[in-house]
Structure 1
Amino acid sequence: MRKVLLASSMLIAGWGAPVAAQDAGNTGIRDIIVTAQRKSESTQKAGIAIAVLSGDQLLQKGLSSANDLGKAVPALNVQAGGGPLTSFFVRGVGNFTVNGYSDPAVAFAYDGVYMGRATSTSGMFYDLERLEVLKGPQGTLYGRNATAGAINAIPAKPKIGEWSGNASAYYGNYNAFGLQGAINAPIGEHGALRLAGNVVSHDGYMSDGTSDEKNQALRGQMLAELTPELTVRVGADWSHTGGKGPGASYAGAYAYNRASGVYSFVPSGLSVDTGLYSPASQAYRQTLFLGATGRNAAPLDDTAYQNNSFYGTNAEVTWKSGIGTFTLLPAWRHSQLDSRFGNPGFVGWIREKDDQISLEARLATKRVSIFEAILGGYYFDETVNGNYTFAQQQLNAYQAFTSKTKSYAAFGRLTAHLSERFRLIGGLRFTHDAKRFDGQADVFIDSCTVRVAGRPSCPTAPLLPVTASYTDLTAPFTIAPAGGAAPIGATGAVLVHAQTPVHASLPKSKATWRAGVEFDVTPRSLLYATVETGYRSGGFSLSAGYETFQPEYLTAYTIGSKNRFWNNRVQLNLEAFYWDYTNQQVNHSGIDLNGNQGQFTQNVGNSKIKGVEADLQLKATHTTLFSANIQYLDSKYGSYTYSVPVGANPPITGCAYALNPANAALYTINCSGKPGYQSPRWTANLGLEQTLPLGRYNLVAAVDTQYKTSRYIAFDFLPEELIGATWTTNAELRLSPKEGRWSLAGYVRNIEGTRIPVNAPTYPAASSLNYITSAPRTFGVRAGVKF
């Protein structure tokens, strides 16, 4: 009994595992302690929209990277991009590309530290205490504002006075191998050290060896109780991502019929696991016509690789005083990216260095009369130096830039306990972002000047190679000054040089707020309602006419209920939400106002997002656990328009378009009324876990499945970007002694074997469409030990 009480007190202090002791008889549903509101509390007592995964759940579900999270959280969709780029969507709010000069819509934090670049989430998913996914804008308590939500990765912390550790390993098809472990050692009577490591590897899921995984990571933490009131914890981490990175397949291309003025989609005939570098794909690629150059494409340069390293140090200083608990969080992070990929149908080469420092200070006051408060300040300083090459054969874009962000914020949250069961909550945050961008894009277009039957025809024109800089282009290419053109031998083609320098600042100050009410209907039933605002700051693009874009805003209205019934054996949580999303940012490829192809972000309009989410856990017997999480989502764009320059052919889009009456050089594309992308109407996660006692051992059989209705996975709203309803099912059989010291399991994931498209990048030069897909069926064995 004493051990149980001690464990419970450690949980409340935030030192223990995320799962608290169960109720008497070990038959109830476990409580999970979170710190999403900057204090330790049970998820059932927190009036917020949150999903939580424990470290054991992450391990059992095989979630080793950010790309896997959407399998476990219905409100979350994760989209792999080119190379190290990963985009998160919560209830349809997110962004397709997160580069060095735009901010993510979903804030990712490791150990309480906001990470400015989504690429830095690599190597975090091991030896975690828990993972928290917050749904909706985080406008008051978190380091940087975000419109869609936040993901918090909380590492397991050192434990004072304890020698302990764990290790687990798995092996599966595609030569999949994983090994992770941790050891906790006491340092005297008032200190502890925890060391953890992780290695993950599997061969490529695509026929050309892409969509592989080669990750290594190390983490060290030291905790010291300097006095009964003062605790200091310091940590350092390193991770490396290698391999070839995500791969893609050619879905097909769009052919324009000038007589009818209509595009038709011609499928490639290739399977979704036929990688871009495979012989079949290279042969197909050579049938694609590059309109500006007047010849067919050449084989793709097969040089895909990732060589990305991430480093960080952070500390947490906690001082308990007479007025409350003061917490200080200093941190530094560094990333170095070197990645070449071909996912869009052309070669992207990202070389980038990111440095950030941050400092957060906050005070959680003790309750005074009916009031308790959290007060704090935050500072964030980030510098990104990037050199990008986007080599499309008929066009090469070279970008060199420095992006700097300094952000200052003051925040507070006040809770008024009007009675022991009724609380009013108010929060306010004032943020000032100062952004500076200095960069230049040099774009070279291999343009044919010869016309045959009204169509460019330069069959002998050489195509542009992949180079780190345009100064590396050699004969037969001659570099003309910006705005000029030089002949490419006697081929009839010329090399056009366009240049877009951008030197701009974007200062922005914004106050965001939260208002809420909580009522304890019974000791195990909470009713809550909140209104919260958030914004995502503006940014920059290296494209003429789109050099800057403005912030986007979201106001979220939520009403929910969290309940436990039947002697703590039934948990039913319900939530209804309405999000008002304005000045939405959309990043996409397109033609800039100088007629050059580029990647830029526009503010396109607003949308309304509403829905209901229900989460049920049923401990039918002490050996049977059933779970169901179901979300209904109604996302629709009320106003969604943007402009593109008029070209030789009309734009390829599933939306209505027309010439702009005020400017005949522009088309206005109108996607108003379309559903939000990455927004399936229904998402359901269902699970069943059955424990079979076998003497001194337990045999656990578990199965779970995720269902999603149709959804668009790209912003063009093309029929080929609409993915039909899908099921993905997993199963596991696990044997362990009742005291849980070791385990042995066999698993299979994606039993259906369906490769589901999750992203549809385009190759505009050839009017082609590619698919990036989910993993195929995988299976293997896993063993673990705790000591």
Structure 2
Amino acid sequence: MRKIGQNRVSVLALAAAAAVATPALAQDAGTGDAAKNATASQDSGGIADIVVTATRQSTNMQDTPIAITAVTAEALEERGLKSVADLTAVVPNAEFRRTHGAFGPGVSASIRGIGASDTNIGNDPVVAYYVDDIYYPTLLGSNFDLLDIDHVEVLRGPQGTLFGRNSLAGAVNIVSKQPRFDERSGYIQMTVGSYHRTDVRAGFNIPLGENLALMASGVYKKRQGYQRVLDFACEMNRRGTPGLIGDIPPYDLAKTSNPKFSPKDCVIGHLGGEDVQAVRGSLAWEPASNVRLTVTGEYIRDTSENPADTTLSLNPALNTPNENASFAYYNAAYDSRFITGDPYSTYETYNDPIGAGTVIPGHSYYNGMSTHGGHTLDPRGNLTNWGFSAKLVVGLTDTIDLTAIAGYRSLDETHVYQKDGTPLQTEMTTNVVTNDYFTGELRLSGKSDWIDWVVGAFYFDASGFQHAVIDQPRTGLIRYLNNSFDPLSKAVYANATIRPFDNGLSFTGGLRYSDDKKVVSLSNLVETTPNPGDIEFAVTPQAKVVSWKAGVNYEVSSDVLLYASAATGYTLPGFNPRPQQPSQIAQFDGNEDIAYELGAKLDLFDRRLRLNLAGFYTDFNKRPQALGGQEILLDANGNPTSGNSVVIPLPNGPDGSTTCRARTADEIANNVTGYSCIIRNYYINTPATIWGFEAEMTAEPVDGLLINGALGYHKFSSPDIDSRAINPRQAEPFWSANAGIQYLIEGAPLGGTITPRVDWSYQGSTAPSTRTTNWNQPGYSLVNARLTYALPDDGFTIAAGVTNLFDKIHYDNFFILQDFGQSNVQGQPAAPRQWYLQFEKKF
């Protein structure tokens, strides 16, 4: 790992220098005028304001001309939401999902039809994550537990001006609670539930003096997976189909029947469970009324089971000769017998029963080599993610603040994936990733009657390394990936809202100049190195980009804001991270878009009804897309390894690319040998347009009754989709919606309160394949319910809840390997119905 260099030291020195700056009152998030106004409006009745920092200043969300969903810690608790992946249930036009097991423990994020799910280093995310002003650059490890947060802000639409690169679709800004100097408090919360769920959360806040305070918290989460791993031989006997076993050995001899014993079940493990521990501490110091320093540290350990993953389809016609030979070795076939028929079960054991050194005639993998065969992996992640940061806010005058931020974060993660859902091995991957990030930011901000402004400089430096072993009996190879990547980002930015008149009219403008690059060295080596199939190359995706935002706002009254804006976003250029041969080494442009937005924010009926509305049109003008296909397998000299029919170049493809096609009738009749083909992705710019709208509502028609709802719609149009009749649903609009209702009933026993709550969410239909409609998933609804009994004076709460109340079967992800010429299709079923019981005591 690389040590902090001179640039990092310079930023730290700059932050230290700012510590000795002088004068007046700091306007830190949550302590400035916006927070005071929020408190005042809350005390006067009606729906409380939420203070956000989406403009890098503290502002009332209803006065901020951006489409924002801001969810407080209390609202997340009431809805039973605990992690970033749960935000799908509350944000319109957005999907946050645990990534597929092949991509490790991350969260895929999509906002307004623009998303990314692959955690590889060749493509950057399109949604930027910030945790307490610290930039988090990768999807890997991004499923943050929402531990002791104040609120979460999800900003929809490109945010390139204030949040920089990779905010093409939007940004997620997580704001934690801050230590308090005037409060000695603590809490402990315990949750038990389905699948042996045990969650323990605890924290405290302690003033250590008049101007020093410590806040610390921790969480322990453990839950058995909801998907059962079955012993195939045992299950076939249990089903009365022993003829399908062939000679496949049992995984667990204790599950073998005999005349005196029959196993109760064939379960040998589980997938989809959780095992997480995390601690967080924050120390705040105010040596003067105008100076506040906050130092925060965090440590996360995640050894959760791999996500649930089930085989949905197997097409033997796509088997490789090696795959057929592997199963024939056990007098079986690689076919539909390995489809369990239940999304919550699998035959995947992460074990290769064919021992090391085994020779199977005609098999190019089991050829007697001591490294081939007998591998067993533990299907759980191994993530350590820790970091620390410091934030200094100095009030230079009554209206101007200086903020200095520095942070370091380290990630060390290993995940494994077995792709076929059978007790044999066709392909298994071990992926080890280490990342170190340093973030530094310095900004000046000010507020006056006629202008709110912020100017800043941003610095981000990182180093990472990926070591992966791809063990492929299906192709006969073991490949080793050793990739280093060193991103560097420098930017300066300015943003202002100007109010030149006294008629409620204001103007917003922003610019950001970014100088970004990522130095990458990649090697993809065959086990028997040197080998003609070895791939090694270096690339440096880089860009110098000016992002901008312009808008006009009109405050009709103190409760009605109308706005119109245009803003840009971008990602770095990328490259193909998984080339199978030298002809597949390719770079491609980064993404760029411009979004136009009209919006309205309204507090009506004496603040009993809040409506936030937005309509948008996104010109996705640079959109490099990977189109899956196949090409001819070439030797070291660029010639086909087999076959003698005519080589056809790929139309509009890169130099040296070829078309893999079936033999013609004449070629077959003349015994012309066909070519060997391999998977290939081709990157082509396919611009798109997206338009849609969002509506969010919160209502409190009478005291104690709270109703919320949201509706999102977007229509994605691109030649890449519109020209394909194979899967027309890809061109259909996408709908999302959610609603919730709760009522606080006072006068319960012992002076307590009872609050029943019901939440509903809807996700529209999806079409994950570009080649078939077989895996289109219809839209689905989910319902959660919760009943809370509280003794406010005693700080005691007990709640009972259920998620996915009607036990709706749906899939978070699909891995359609048949689109790439492989045999199987995998799906990751989301969790079934689960109940929980939660106890909390506040001190």
TM-score computed with the length of structure 2 as normaliser: 0.76
Contact 1:349 / 1:388 at 8 angstroms: preserved in 2?
yes
Contact 1:18 / 1:54 at 8 angstroms: preserved in 2?
no
Shift of residue 715, structure 1, vs aligned partner = 4.8
Distance 1:257 1:42, change over 3 A: closer
Contact 2:194 / 2:834 at 8 angstroms: preserved in 1?
yes
Mapped to 1, the partners of 2:454 and 2:730 lie a distance apart of 39
SS of residue in 1 equivalent to 2:569: strand
SS of residue in 2 equivalent to 1:181: strand
Distance 1:775 1:561, change over 3 A: same
Distance 1:393 1:12, change over 3 A: same
User: Which residue of structure 2 lines up, in the alignment, with residue 332 of structure 1?
Assistant: 408
Shift of residue 585, structure 1, vs aligned partner = 4.0
Shift of residue 133, structure 1, vs aligned partner = 0.7
Matches within 5 A, 1:175-324: 175-208=196-229, 209-254=270-315, 268=339, 270-277=341-348, 303-322=378-397, 324=400
User: Which residue of structure 1 lines up, in the alignment, with residue 254 of structure 2?
Assistant: none
Mapped to 2, the partners of 1:126 and 1:103 lie a distance apart of 26
Shift of residue 42, structure 1, vs aligned partner = 1.5
User: Greater shift after overlay, 347-356 or 597-606?
Assistant: 597-606
Contact 1:394 / 1:765 at 8 angstroms: preserved in 2?
no
Query: In the alignment, is residue 748 of structure 1 matched against residue 802 of structure 2?
Result: yes
User: Which residue of structure 1 lines up, in the alignment, with residue 569 of structure 2?
Assistant: 534
Matches within 5 A, 1:378-777: 378-395=458-475, 396-420=478-502, 421-443=504-526, 470=527, 479=528, 481-483=530-532, 498-540=533-575, 541-543=577-579, 544=582, 545-586=584-625, 591=630, 602-639=683-720, 655=724, 675=730, 681-695=734-748, 696-712=751-767, 714-739=768-793, 741-763=795-817, 764=820, 766-777=822-833
Shift of residue 739, structure 1, vs aligned partner = 4.3
Distance 1:235 1:48, change over 3 A: same
User: Which residue of structure 2 lines up, in the alignment, with residue 453 of structure 1?
Assistant: none
Distance 1:311 1:60, change over 3 A: same
Mapped to 2, the partners of 1:317 and 1:52 lie a distance apart of 25
Specify every segment of 5 or more residues in structure 2 that has no aligned partner in the other structure, as ranges.
1-26, 230-269, 320-334, 354-361, 367-371, 422-426, 635-676
Distance 1:17 1:374, change over 3 A: closer
Mapped to 1, the partners of 2:135 and 2:30 lie a distance apart of 24
Mapped to 2, the partners of 1:721 and 1:245 lie a distance apart of 22
Match of 1:43 among 30, 37, 61: 61
Mapped to 1, the partners of 2:787 and 2:432 lie a distance apart of 43
SS of residue in 1 equivalent to 2:88: helix
Shift of residue 214, structure 1, vs aligned partner = 0.6
Specify every segment of 5 or more residues in structure 1 that has no aligned partner in the other structure, as ranges.
1-7, 259-264, 283-290, 444-469, 471-478, 484-497, 642-653, 658-670
User: Greater shift after overlay, 419-428 or 52-61?
Assistant: 52-61
Contact 2:404 / 2:443 at 8 angstroms: preserved in 1?
yes
Mapped to 2, the partners of 1:17 and 1:507 lie a distance apart of 43
Mapped to 2, the partners of 1:292 and 1:752 lie a distance apart of 48
Contact 1:414 / 1:425 at 8 angstroms: preserved in 2?
yes
- Counterpart amino acid of 1:731? A
User: Which residue of structure 2 lines up, in the alignment, with residue 465 of structure 1?
Assistant: none
Query: In the alignment, is residue 59 of structure 1 matched against residue 77 of structure 2?
Result: yes
Query: Once the two structures are superposed, what CA deviation does each residue of 1:285-339 show, in whole Å capped at 9, x if it has no partner?
Result: xxxxxx99799x9999553121110110101010111361111111111000111
User: Greater shift after overlay, 248-257 or 553-562?
Assistant: 248-257
Answer 1 or 2: which has greater helix percent.
2
Shift of residue 481, structure 1, vs aligned partner = 3.6
Mapped to 2, the partners of 1:96 and 1:162 lie a distance apart of 42
Contact 2:698 / 2:709 at 8 angstroms: preserved in 1?
yes
- Counterpart amino acid of 1:405? P
Mapped to 2, the partners of 1:704 and 1:207 lie a distance apart of 29
Shift of residue 594, structure 1, vs aligned partner = 5.0
User: Which residue of structure 2 lines up, in the alignment, with residue 359 of structure 1?
Assistant: 440
Query: Once the two structures are superposed, what CA deviation does each residue of 1:211-255 show, in whole Å capped at 9, x if it has no partner?
Result: 111111011111111212111111111001103221210010346
Mapped to 2, the partners of 1:237 and 1:51 lie a distance apart of 26
User: Greater shift after overlay, 341-350 or 567-576?
Assistant: 341-350
- Counterpart amino acid of 2:455? L
User: Which residue of structure 2 lines up, in the alignment, with residue 447 of structure 1?
Assistant: none
User: Which residue of structure 1 lines up, in the alignment, with residue 667 of structure 2?
Assistant: none
SS of residue in 1 equivalent to 2:227: coil
Distance 1:34 1:372, change over 3 A: closer
Shift of residue 410, structure 1, vs aligned partner = 0.7
SS of residue in 2 equivalent to 1:716: coil
Match of 1:13 among 32, 57, 82: 32
Mapped to 1, the partners of 2:48 and 2:600 lie a distance apart of 18
Q: Identity, % of aligned pairs?
A: 23
Mapped to 1, the partners of 2:307 and 2:829 lie a distance apart of 9
Q: How many residues align?
A: 687
Mapped to 1, the partners of 2:113 and 2:129 lie a distance apart of 17
Contact 1:113 / 1:143 at 8 angstroms: preserved in 2?
no
Distance 1:123 1:81, change over 3 A: same
